[in-house]
């Protein structure tokens, strides 16, 4: 079973309202239900505080009813909540409100949704003309709370897929350090064209290039891709794990506990008095994993199969999301395992061999010239030292891992060549 035993969650999202002043096509809730009442707040916030390290107040747009949000923050602080975050589109903030929030809790985190800095695309996505206001509020948040307290969320879709570079340039110029991105995914409550898998690979490359340009800009995917669908040159940046049953959950506007907002059917919604989270997760969600086509894959223990909600929802459709393609060659699987660093030390040593190029120069072969990478050249003295070295020595371990790093670079180069082709 891939879902681990529940302990305290890292974060619990508490939905304060389903109302929102933006109408983004990928998340807008047409029910437009009212905010949580004051009477309901205390029970939900107390539950969230007891079971998680962080409460993320979300919506809809939580600032659409600021008195409720302010009360929720006050209750969370009264229960000694370790960390409070607010998920917002940033349009309803202003300088006075930001100052007030700073007085309440200067360690508060803000997760600001910014779909693009290109005006016409912002209007098309949100159906508002709020971009200038949002950018100004984002600057004020950065000035007041600091760059380590502000995270920008960017949902990549067919409208803004070409705006990542200019948006990253603007964020860098304003001192933003944390940039989270995800791709519009397949759910069972709305339908629209998904980005093609070939485009997703190109977008990954663009993000990788931006990371090299701004190494201090921390990119993190909030979309859990399976390792088989993750390009080799992105694996070094880490493979995001689905938080289902691992580190996150949500309490929706109706007061129901759900492992993920995208699992919005009654099957995955529970009353808060069902008992502890361990019972809920361990007993209800195993079917999401056991029915997954990822079950027999050797890499699944590392990535847990990617986004389980997307996998579950798409199983009811006649097609699967194009970027969620299961099927990987043995050679590529070995390369990905190598890049993920899950080969034991002895296998690394036994996988190194030398091919003579001329009288004084050898080439290092690693796992049988996978992906047809060029030989990494070394001289005769390196081969002699390697043959004499104690397999348990730190020097030999350092040498092996330096070979792994070189091999990773070759894999990255190979991946780039595939993209260019």
Instruction: Dump pLDDT digits (tens) for 25-56.
Output: 887 565 666 778 888 888 899 888 888 889 99
CB 61 within 8 A of CB 69: no
The better pLDDT of the pair 273, 45 is held by 45
Give the span between the Cα atoms of 253 and 241, in whole angstroms: 26
Q: Does the pLDDT at position 322 exceed 60?
A: no
Q: Which of 80-84, 207-211, 366-370 has the highest mean pLDDT?
A: 80-84
| Cα angle for residues 46, 89, 43 (degrees, 5° grid) | 10
Give the class (CATH, top level) of 9-314.
alpha beta
CB 81 within 8 A of CB 52: no
Q: What is the pLDDT of residue 280?
A: 59
Mean pLDDT, residues 285-307 taken together? 68
Q: Does the pLDDT at position 245 exceed 70?
A: no
158: helix, strand or coil:
coil
Q: What is the pLDDT of residue 6?
A: 40
Residue 348's region, left for phi above 0, alpha for psi from -120 to 50, else beta, is alpha
Q: Does the pLDDT at position 119 exceed 90?
A: yes
Q: What is the pLDDT of residue 374?
A: 64
Distant-in-sequence, close-in-space partners of 300: CB < 8 Å, separation ≥ 6: 2, 226, 294
User: Percent of the chain scored above 90 by pLDDT?
Assistant: 29
CB 305 within 8 A of CB 296: no
Q: What is the pLDDT of residue 387?
A: 81
Give the span between the Cα atoms of 110 and 86, in whole angstroms: 5
DSSP string, 310-338: HHHHHTTSSS--TT------HHHHHHHHH
Lowest pLDDT segment from 48-52, 85-89, 210-214, 280-284:
280-284
Q: Does the pLDDT at position 4 exceed 50?
A: no
| Cα angle for residues 64, 112, 93 (degrees, 5° grid) | 45
What pLDDT digit, counting tens, does each position of 136-156 carry? 999 999 999 999 999 999 988
Domain spans of the chain? 9-314, 330-420
What pLDDT digit, counting tens, does each position of 394-407 carry? 787 777 777 777 76
Q: Does the pLDDT at position 89 exceed 60?
A: yes
Helix (H) or strand (E) holding 414: helix 394-420
Give the span between the Cα atoms of 63 and 60, in whole angstroms: 9
Q: What is the pLDDT of residue 286?
A: 56
CB 142 within 8 A of CB 177: no
């Amino acid at each position: 079973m891939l879902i681990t035993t529940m302990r305290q969650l890292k974060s619990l999202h508490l939905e304060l309202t389903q109302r929102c002043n933006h109408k983004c096509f990928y998340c807008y809730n047409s029910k437009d239900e009212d905010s949580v009442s004051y009477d309901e707040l205390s029970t939900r916030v107390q539950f969230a505080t007891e079971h998680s390290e962080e409460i993320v107040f979300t919506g809809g747009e939580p600032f659409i009813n600021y008195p409720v949000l302010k009360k929720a923050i006050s209750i969370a602080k009264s229960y000694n909540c370790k960390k409070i975050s607010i998920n917002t589109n940033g349009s309803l903030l202003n300088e006075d409100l930001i100052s007030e929030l700073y007085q309440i809790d200067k360690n508060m985190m803000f997760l600001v949704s910014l779909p693009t800095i290109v005006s016409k695309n912002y209007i098309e996505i949100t159906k508002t003309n709020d971009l200038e206001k949002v950018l100004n509020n984002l600057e004020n948040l950065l000035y007041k709370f600091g760059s380590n307290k502000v995270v920008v969320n960017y949902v990549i879709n067919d409208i803004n897929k070409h705006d990542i570079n200019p948006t990253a340039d603007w964020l860098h110029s304003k001192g933003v350090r944390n940039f989270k991105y995800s791709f519009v995914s397949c759910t069972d409550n709305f339908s629209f064209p998904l980005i093609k898998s070939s485009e997703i690979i190109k977008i990954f490359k663009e993000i990788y290039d931006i990371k090299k340009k701004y190494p201090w800009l921390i990119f993190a995917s909030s979309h859990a891709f399976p390792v088989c669908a993750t390009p080799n040159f992105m694996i070094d940046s880490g493979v995001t794990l689905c938080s289902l049953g691992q580190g996150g959950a949500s309490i929706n506007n109706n007061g129901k506990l759900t492992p993920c907002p995208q699992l919005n059917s009654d099957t995955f919604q529970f009353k808060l008095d069902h008992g502890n989270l361990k019972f809920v997760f361990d007993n209800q969600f195993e079917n999401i994993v056991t029915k997954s086509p990822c079950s027999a894959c050797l890499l699944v223990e590392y990535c847990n199969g990617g986004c389980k909600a997307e996998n579950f929802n798409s199983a009811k459709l006649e097609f699967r999301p194009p970027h969620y393609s299961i099927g990987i060659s043995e050679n590529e699987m070995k390369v990905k395992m190598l890049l993920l660093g899950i080969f034991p030390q002895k296998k690394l040593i036994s996988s190194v061999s030398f091919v003579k190029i001329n009288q004084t120069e050898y080439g290092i072969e690693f796992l049988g010239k996978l992906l047809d990478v060029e030989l990494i050249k070394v001289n005769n003295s390196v081969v002699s030292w390697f043959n004499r070295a104690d397999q348990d020595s730190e020097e030999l371990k350092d040498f092996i891992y330096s070979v792994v790093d070189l091999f990773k670079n070759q894999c990255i180069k190979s991946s780039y060549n595939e993209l260019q082709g």
